[in-house]
Amino acid sequence: MGKKPLTRRQEKAIETKNRIYNAAIDIMDKKGFEKLTIVDISKKANVSVGALYHYFKSKNDILAEIFRKADEYFSTEVISSLNKASVPDQIVEYFDHYAKFNVASGVEMTQQLFNPKIKFFIKKSRPMLTLLQDLIRKGQEKKEIRMDTDPEELARFLFVMARGIVFEWSLHEGRYDLEATMHKYIGILVSTLRS
């Protein structure tokens, strides 16, 4: 059974929510998350504060939306696009996508998000993390990934390293090739995980 087409009202609601979100991202790139205000967002998006609160209860909801979009991208686009090579190779490819995603988001956005006050990175139920855990588990079942550490710990280890690579790239104002660096360093790390 196909999806029902959206009504004009539903289309308008999606357009308004996206306009608010994009306005918030633009302001955040320029001023930072700490200086992001609801009033500034509503002005830039050309909506009332009440309309903004209809879609986002706080600026933290906008932040949550950033991470939700990343998780959705990995759930729908990345996992299905991984080549069918060995699991270690798929893990490297997974982080190639992670680097591309950060480059596409821009160094300014990355600098704003890599803030110790933002805890979404370490949320254990995030699809981006659980997808990697599942991939590692599959590699262990196929005897391609070492068995002495559980998938959750290995996924955490890999993400700690990958976030460090992205953080350093943002410290250098994006002046080097994040994708090539991520591929090289994660490749080295994954070589230590092979069984």
In the predicted structure, residue 1 carries a pLDDT above the cut 70: no
CB 181 within 8 A of CB 98: no
Structurally, the chain folds into a number of domains equal to 2
pLDDT digits (tens, 9 = 90+) for 44-80: 999 999 999 999 998 889 888 888 888 999 999 998 8
Q: Token digits for 24?
A: 């918030």
Does one domain contain both 27 and 73?
A: no
More confident residue, 107 or 121: 107
**CATH number of domain containing 45:** 1.10.10.60
Range of the domain at 102: 63-191
Does one domain contain both 128 and 85?
A: yes
Does one domain contain both 10 and 72?
A: no
Q: Which of 57, 73, 95 is at the close of a domain?
A: 57
Does one domain contain both 67 and 38?
A: no
The region of weakest confidence among 47-51, 100-104, 116-120, 180-184 is 116-120
Does one domain contain both 14 and 73?
A: no
Does one domain contain both 106 and 133?
A: yes
Does one domain contain both 52 and 79?
A: no
Does one domain contain both 14 and 95?
A: no
Q: Determine if residue 192 is left, alpha or beta; phi over 0 gives left, psi from -120 to 50 gives alpha, anything else beta.
A: alpha
- Provide the 3-class DSSP secondary structure of residue 33: coil
Q: Which of 38, 57, 76 is at the close of a domain?
A: 57
User: Residue 146 — pLDDT band, cuts 50, 70, 90?
Assistant: very high
Calpha distance 122→163 (Å, rounded):
11
Does one domain contain both 72 and 46?
A: no
In Å, how far are 97, 123, 150, 163 from 112, measured between CA atoms? Answer: 20, 18, 32, 13
Average pLDDT over residues 138-155: 96
Calpha distance 24→29 (Å, rounded):
9
Does one domain contain both 83 and 135?
A: yes
**CATH number of domain containing 136:** 1.10.357.10
Average pLDDT over residues 15-24: 92
In the predicted structure, residue 120 carries a pLDDT above the cut 60: yes
Q: Give pTM, 2 decimals.
A: 0.84
Does one domain contain both 52 and 70?
A: no
More confident residue, 58 or 158: 158
Closest C-alpha among 145, 111, 148, 89 to residue 33: 111
Does one domain contain both 33 and 77?
A: no
Residues in the chain: 195
Average pLDDT, the chain: 91
Average pLDDT over residues 19-23: 92
